[in-house]
Amino acid sequence: MASTPSSPKEHHFVDIHPVLSDDSDNLNRLRDSQSSDTTVNFRAGGDGEGRERRLQRNVWTFSRQIHLESGIGMFDVEKKGSVEGESSGNARGKSLGGAGATGGDAGHRKGYFDMFRTKSALGAKQNSLMPSWKENEPDPDNAEGIPGSAGADDRVNKSVPAGRYFAALRGPELDQVREYEDILLPKDEVWPFLLRFPVGCFGICLGLGSQAILWGALSSSPAMAFLRVSPNINLALWVLALAILVSVSVAYTLKCVFYFEAIRREYFHPVRVNFFFAPWIACMFLAIGVPPRWAPRHLHPAIWCGFIAPVFVLELKVYGQWLSGGKRRLCKVANPSSHLSVVGNFVGAILAAKVGWGEAGKFLWAIGLAHYLCLFVTLYQRLTTSQALPKELHPVYSMFIATPSAASIAWHAIYGEFDAVSRTFYFIALFLYCSLVVRINFFRGFKFSVAWWSYTFPMTTASLAAIRYAEEVTCFFSKGLALSLSLMSSTIVSLMLVSTLLHAFVWRSLFPNDLAIAITKDRSDGAKAQDKEKKASKKNYGLKRWAKQSSLSLVSSIRRGHSGDKDLK
Amino acid sequence: MASTPSSPKEHHFVDIHPVLSDDSDNLNRLRDSQSSDTTVNFRAGGDGEGRERRLQRNVWTFSRQIHLESGIGMFDVEKKGSVEGESSGNARGKSLGGAGATGGDAGHRKGYFDMFRTKSALGAKQNSLMPSWKENEPDPDNAEGIPGSAGADDRVNKSVPAGRYFAALRGPELDQVREYEDILLPKDEVWPFLLRFPVGCFGICLGLGSQAILWGALSSSPAMAFLRVSPNINLALWVLALAILVSVSVAYTLKCVFYFEAIRREYFHPVRVNFFFAPWIACMFLAIGVPPRWAPRHLHPAIWCGFIAPVFVLELKVYGQWLSGGKRRLCKVANPSSHLSVVGNFVGAILAAKVGWGEAGKFLWAIGLAHYLCLFVTLYQRLTTSQALPKELHPVYSMFIATPSAASIAWHAIYGEFDAVSRTFYFIALFLYCSLVVRINFFRGFKFSVAWWSYTFPMTTASLAAIRYAEEVTCFFSKGLALSLSLMSSTIVSLMLVSTLLHAFVWRSLFPNDLAIAITKDRSDGAKAQDKEKKASKKNYGLKRWAKQSSLSLVSSIRRGHSGDKDLK
Amino acid sequence: MASTPSSPKEHHFVDIHPVLSDDSDNLNRLRDSQSSDTTVNFRAGGDGEGRERRLQRNVWTFSRQIHLESGIGMFDVEKKGSVEGESSGNARGKSLGGAGATGGDAGHRKGYFDMFRTKSALGAKQNSLMPSWKENEPDPDNAEGIPGSAGADDRVNKSVPAGRYFAALRGPELDQVREYEDILLPKDEVWPFLLRFPVGCFGICLGLGSQAILWGALSSSPAMAFLRVSPNINLALWVLALAILVSVSVAYTLKCVFYFEAIRREYFHPVRVNFFFAPWIACMFLAIGVPPRWAPRHLHPAIWCGFIAPVFVLELKVYGQWLSGGKRRLCKVANPSSHLSVVGNFVGAILAAKVGWGEAGKFLWAIGLAHYLCLFVTLYQRLTTSQALPKELHPVYSMFIATPSAASIAWHAIYGEFDAVSRTFYFIALFLYCSLVVRINFFRGFKFSVAWWSYTFPMTTASLAAIRYAEEVTCFFSKGLALSLSLMSSTIVSLMLVSTLLHAFVWRSLFPNDLAIAITKDRSDGAKAQDKEKKASKKNYGLKRWAKQSSLSLVSSIRRGHSGDKDLK
């Protein structure tokens, strides 16, 4: 994109240039209008570089316009012959640098990513960088007190409204950027590893943790004794799950330390927020599935307290948002991954039973039931107000199985018998399982992503419930069902594991740029700007007026960012 | 309508004629525009007379043009002197042929109905008929490859979108065609019997089958022993129900063989689809209510398997449509008759308990509960997105009673005690019963139809639940309640029976033309076309241009039919 | 407002006056347009007076214009030196008279309030007043047969549609009038006491009655024996609650006798209608909490019958409205105070258990469960169609706690054990309690009103459930929880009591004008009229035409009132 000087866009600029030198004020206005036109209207890094350059020579002005226009055109010029990125998972066009690329312009490129850095970590650099930006800013129209740095800062603002995510993203996991949307970071470059490391990675821990429990159950359950499963599989899986949980946690902690703004954006993402429950659920899975030879008869309740506390706090937050009726009300944000925010209660209840705190388990079960009810009905109704539910079925839908399975196991654990309630939930899960299996072809055709791991643990949970049921109703059919469900779940997990390893080490595309966190906060995107221009030209406005309004539109779009709706509690 | 030659419509045509002979291309265009204009672009009877008259004169070309307009005018011409129909239930105007009419033109008349015939049965005939139609097609504007026969074929396409039914039909059962809507078959003629035989007829079997169970319970229940009801009533009712079920099944099987397209359309009808559960529920009713002297202690489980399998498959389909969020999502298609798609689970659970498969019964009960919950909440909320819920109460609403009653009986059957869960469901049914009884005047003022039978079995189910409750809580009040509910239910069924017999054999109006299945697939209905013309004339278009766009509108409307949204899985 | 002649509005009139004297017909038109402009377009009393006056002399015309404009300007002139109102709670501007003001113009002022009087009580007065009004009506534009009296009568019509309340009112309790809305009664005057006495006052009885039960439980529960609470507190509270219930009932009965139309309007108010359950729930609280020394072992079932009958009738009505899908369908009117219409079932179930009618209690419990489910899911979903749910949390939200707590206690009472069902409901209530407590700052910033009392009883109910739970699970934590919840509830009730006494006797602002019942039935409010005028002036209409349409708009607005939608069953 814009890599050769003869591209029509730049040609356009050449035509305008002489005119602009006459009236530099007008130039700025036009340039701004142009930049807001081409969907790249305020990129930190590109600007920063352009600015430094302009200081040195005058001819660079032209080059700078290209930067404003293409956002990263500069890199093409500068980095001719520089090392090409080693992996370009989903980067379109040429990948311009690896995650760990070094060189004289590394600092410049980092400028992009600085906006997602933890505020305190930025400190000194921002102070040295931003003022120079401001004093070099020649735009007289910006006299209204919206300094550029504030604008840049603002775009990474903590409160990206829920509606923006729905507007800018698509796909069942809201992880693909719509075509006409601009994003804050360069699409063609590989971002730093931590920025590409999504919270969904905890899904791997969910999948492996639940597998560890499953193989523990297979080896210890009397109903499955005929299989003679060695408890060592449980042990191995558990150690693997623990290792991966530790690694993922370390990585995400680092992300938390260095790129807190990115985490903040993941937290405000209507789908991703549910994955914040995943780490704690994964921990609870590990605590539940701890190999018998290492585990005391009863775990210490402190373990339960430590793991359930963050879940409870998150629930107070998330359920409160559902109820209080802002932009994140249930009828808008409900999507299959919301099950993650409910299933924690049931997993917590199982763990509570294991540590001997039955009443606490009952408390969690009740919370889970109430919110599962709301969620289940809402999802089944497929309200037209819900924006995040694609028509197509998808791995996401397997989440439907997780909660009733977990509820069934939890009831059995806390009330001690697999009675009517347990059965009802188990059978509901079973029916939903059938319902998804017959629609198996809807599950194909989606790009693999690490989030898929979260869709493996529901199957494992269903297998666990089936084993519990086979213990209660010992017959050929129930045992066969438990066995086949377990096999299916293990097969899927194995496939996922292989797939993940291939993506990670062979194709090096496990962590593509996480575009979802880099959407702009305001809506002055390309489509809109183009519309505006089209209208303007139709209505035969004078050039003067057009230029003015365009530059003002930039200002006002920034200001709109400032006054964006604050529906986030 | 259009019975005198001086009616404005025909006069209009005569005026145009001379002009048309000059420029036959333009004529075609104008004619087409005219036909889409007058909202009668495929109607048999009304135009027929005008056409006959004009025959005697010269203008065959013109007559043919009218055929294109009316779609089947041609047949009227040919059929001069044919026997007039002997019964015209609710046919408006003159009925032009009985269901069993014979004669040389029977084949032609059948041409209407051929489009609803099973595709394989059409084979040869279509090949002989359609090409002749096609080769007479002089329309040069249709050169774009949309031959008339394909269009006609397409209108009976399998995939009438759900939205079309809501747009074209009204009434609580979506069985009345809106005024401005055109239908594919002649309204003024009595259609073949099988085409007029709706799936709702299985409602009769539901009503009688449940009555047989009720009288069996009255004669055998210890709580009702004081009535000394003879078991012969049960026997007689059961035989009657069986006989009617067999007859209805045979008739519907014939419909399936000969008019499969009509059944396909019933299946896509958002309300009718629920009645496809009725045959299997009726079978299960008969299996549950089998007279004790004939019944073994336990029925063979194969009976259960045979009856529940189609229900289960239908459920996977229907619930999947609710969940997957197309045009048939729950929040859009929910209506009281949806209860039929849920109640089958509970009836199946009762039968499962009777054949001794308690766990299978619990499985069905769980499925039923989950979906009943969603349906109940959705119906109670009366979401504004739901298009099929009229404000008025109606027999349909009695469906609300059926499901909780059946759930109560089923729980008692599978778990062996009339405990809190059974009671809760029974009492919910009782309250809803009260709620409907006090609104009794909302139930009047609706035309009798065979679908009403489906609204009798909820009362019977409530009576059965009341008898079970009276067995559990033996007091004057519970017995009195059971008795009065039983009497009310039996009275209603008797009234329905008399009413049905009167409609069937005295007034011969039991099976009116089933307009709901004959709606057009595209929306180029009268209202729209009129709007378009009005706008066109306002904007002062030249005649040429206007004529052209009109003829194109026909073409494009057909094409739109082709590319209609395919949301049906 | 408009109390001095130099206010700009009146000045405006002075300018116009000479012009108008030329063409008095035009004057009337302009005047009317002006009046509909200033949001006071048809007040009964003001007009009546104006009319009488105009008869006497011509000079008064001007004065009348002011009345039309300000609605009550007349009083300023007439009542110079009259006694000023003694309390003006929330009256804006100068309060012009107390509730019991006497004098020559008392009759005139009463004219306002007459429209809310019971129809039979009006009888003679109306007959003497209205005809004189009609025959004195000089307005030639009203020749179209819309006599003023009919209009006035109609505005107090029984059927204010639900939509009007949502359109005209705001706030979580729909008790504040929107700025641009006109109301039928003078805002600046203190209305008669009975008109200002809302049905929400029964909330006081709810709060105190439940406190009496709480202290009874604290003194008698074995789990709370360590507190050694004297049963005399229960006694004292019970007597107080009884006394207040009797007083409030007497007052409301008087309102019912004298201002039946006002009660009718409260009944049609989408939020207030739920408070009609409050008196009967308060009675049931007193029956449940009757001090042990006075109470027989079992109360007589007749008490239960007497208290539950009105609740049941109201439920049939309200739930029927939810279901039947008019303007009062659940998805539109659902708001936290709807819990009041559900909690009655559970309280009734507790009382049923106390009088020994367990089965009746189970019946009520089932009704309660079914509707609680619908309500809970609907409220949690926060459907966008629901118009009465403000974003802010508010005392109203405490209602969420009431129903599950009551359901928990009721299950314990009727089934005799605090089992899984009881626990589940209790824990749901507990979680919702937590959820609200952490959002405590949302509860601030609202004006105290007597309706707040209704938000105290949920806490008390939660405390009662906590005590029952502490009896079942006797440990430090459960006892501590019960104790702290009880203390919190008692503290809040004490604060409310003090606050109420202060408002009632010190600040005399306990009963402000109940604006919510005095909204106009039609929508010809100020905003609309202004819009119309703005448009008219923009489009450069001639004065003549403008004047004409303005006067017609008055007529048509009245007619619109006549033909308002009749969605009320």
The DSSP line for C472-540 is HS-SHHHHHHHHHHHHHHHHHHHHHHHHHHIIIIIS--SS---GGGGB-SS---HHHHHHHHHHHHHTT
Buried b (16+ CB within 10 A) or exposed e, C49-76: bbbebbeeeeebbebbbbbbbbbbbbbb
Query: Which regions of C108-181 does DSSP assign to beta strands (E)?
Result: 169-170, 176-177
> Residue A237: helix, strand or coil by DSSP?
helix
pLDDT, tens only, C86-132 = 333 333 333 333 333 334 444 455 566 776 777 655 544 444 444 33
Q: How far apart are CA C94 and CA C90, in angstroms?
A: 10
| Residue among C519, C39, C476, C90 at smallest CA distance from C272 | C519
How far is residue B494's CA from residue B207's CA, in Å, rounded to a whole number?
10
Mutation site for B-interface testing, chosen from C317, C367, C373 by largest number of B Cβ within 10 Å? C367
Answer yes or no: do C378 and B381 touch at CB < 8 A: yes
Distance CA A536, CA A542 (A): 9
Span B16-40, average pLDDT = 40
Cα(B120)–Cα(C200) distance, rounded to whole angstroms? Answer: 71
pLDDT score of B446: 65
Closest approach of chain C CAs to the CA of B424, in angstroms? Answer: 5
What 3-state DSSP class applies to C159? coil
Q: Which chain B residues are within 8 Å of A383, Cβ to Cβ?
A: 331, 383, 385
State the Cα–Cα distance between residues C99 and B248, nearest whole angstrom.
74
Q: Smallest Cα–Cα separation from B373: which of C408, A525, C372, A499?
A: C372
Is the Cβ pair C367, B438 closer than 8 Å? no
Q: A438 by DSSP, 3-state: which?
A: coil
> Best interface-test mutation with A: which of C387, C431, C433, C438 has the largest number of A CBs within 10 A?
C431
Name the minimum distance, in Å, from the CA of B177 to any CA of chain A.
26
* All chains having 3 or more CB pairs closer than 8 angstroms to chain A: B, C
More confident residue, C278 or B145: C278
Question: pLDDT: is B347 or C533 the higher one?
Answer: B347
Q: Do B428 and C369 touch (CB under 8 A)?
A: yes
Residue C264 DSSP code = H
Share of chain B above pLDDT 90, in %: 33
Between CA A195 and CA A264 the distance in angstroms is: 12
Sign of CA dihedral C377, C380, C383, C386: positive
Asked if residue A529 has pLDDT above 50, the reply is no
Angstrom distance (rounded) from CA B17 to CA B151: 26
- How far away is chain C from the Cα of B329, in angstroms, using its nearest Cα? 17
Please give the structure tokens belonging to residue C230.
């004297």
* Cβ-Cβ contacts under 8 Å, B389 against chain C: 325
Separation between Cα atoms, residue B117 and residue B262, nearest integer Å: 7
Which residues, including other chains, have CB under 8 Å from residue C387's CB and lie 6 or more apart? C166, C332
For residue C529, name the pLDDT band (cuts at 50, 70, 90): very low
**Gyration radius of chain A's alpha carbons:** 27
In this prediction, residue B524 carries a pLDDT of: 52
Residue range A257-262: average pLDDT?
Answer: 87
ipTM: 0.72
d(CA C319, CA C314): 8
Give the range with max mean pLDDT: B185-189, B303-307, B517-521: B303-307
For residues A323 and A145, the model is more confident at: A323
Asked if residue C238 has pLDDT above 90, the reply is: yes
Which carries the bigger pLDDT value, residue A349 or residue A169? Answer: A349
A372, A380, A386, A392: best mutation site toward chain B, by most B Cβ within 10 Å?
A: A380
Nearest CA in chain C to A376: C377
Measured between beta carbons, the chain C residues lying within 8 angstroms of A363 are 427, 430-431
The alpha carbon of residue B494 and the mean position of all alpha carbons in its chain are separated, in whole angstroms, by 24
Distance (Å, whole) CA B468 – CA B222: 10
Chains touching C (3+ CB pairs < 8 Å): A, B
Chain B residue numbers touching A428 (CB-CB < 8 A): 366-367, 369-370
Burial class (CB in 10 A: 0-12, 13-18, 19+), A300: exposed
CB contact under 8 A, C431 and A385: no
- The answer to whether the beta carbons of residues C329 and C322 sit under 8 Å apart is yes
- Choose among A330, A363, A377: nearest Cβ to C382: A330
What token pair was written down for B568? 């049906």
Please give the full DSSP string across B108-147, using - where no structure is assigned. Answer: HHHHHHHTTS-HHHHHHHHHHHHHHHHHH---GGGGGT--
Q: How far is CA C34 from CA C41, C137, C497, in A?
A: 9, 19, 47
Other CB atoms within a 10 A radius of the CB of residue A60 amount to 17
pLDDT class of A110 with cuts at 50, 70, 90: low
What's residue B321's pLDDT?
86
| Residue B96 pLDDT > 70 | no
pLDDT at residue number C387:
65
* Cβ separation C374–B376 shorter than 8 A: yes
Greatest C-alpha distance within chain A: 90
Contacts of A376 in chain B (CB under 8 A): 370, 373-374
pLDDT tens digits for range A368-421: 999 999 999 999 888 877 765 666 667 778 889 999 999 999 999 999 989 999
- CA atoms of C335 and C332, how far apart (whole Å): 9
Tell me the pairing of strands C176-177 and C169-170: antiparallel
Q: What span, in angstroms and rounded, lies between the C-alpha atoms of A320 and C29? A: 54
The owner of tokens 């090949």 is B127
* Mean pLDDT value across residues B149-169: 60
Among B327, B357, B359, the residue to mutate for chain A (most A Cβ within 10 A): B359
Q: What are phi and psi of B143, to 5 degrees?
A: -60, -10
Name the band, by pLDDT with cuts 50, 70 and 90, for residue C301: very high
User: How many residue pairs from chains A and B have C-beta atoms closer than 8 A?
Assistant: 80
Which residues of B lie closer than 8 Å to C, measured between beta carbons? Answer: 373, 376-377, 379-384, 389-393, 420, 423-428, 430-431, 434-435, 438-439, 442, 473, 478
Mutate to test the interface with B, among C308, C316, C318, C323 (most CBs of B within 10 A): C323
Q: Report d(CA A274, CA A70) in Å as an integer.
A: 35
d(C-alpha B170, C-alpha B387), whole Å: 10
Contacts of C326 in chain B (CB under 8 A): 391
* Candidate from A125-139, A300-314, C528-542 with smallest mean pLDDT: A125-139
Query: What residues of B are in contact with residue A438 (Cβ under 8 Å)?
Result: 316, 320
Contact B188, B92 (CB under 8 A): yes
- Interface contact B391-C319, CB threshold 8 A: no
CB atoms within 10 A of CB A158: 13
* Between residues B422 and A524, the one the model is more confident about: B422
Among A322-331, A514-523, C315-324, whose mean pLDDT is lowest? A514-523
For the residues of B528-561, what is the DSSP string, one character each? HHHHHHHHHHHTT--HHHHHHHHHHHHHHHHHHH
Our CA-based measurement puts residue B163 at a distance from the nearest CA of chain A, in whole angstroms, of 14
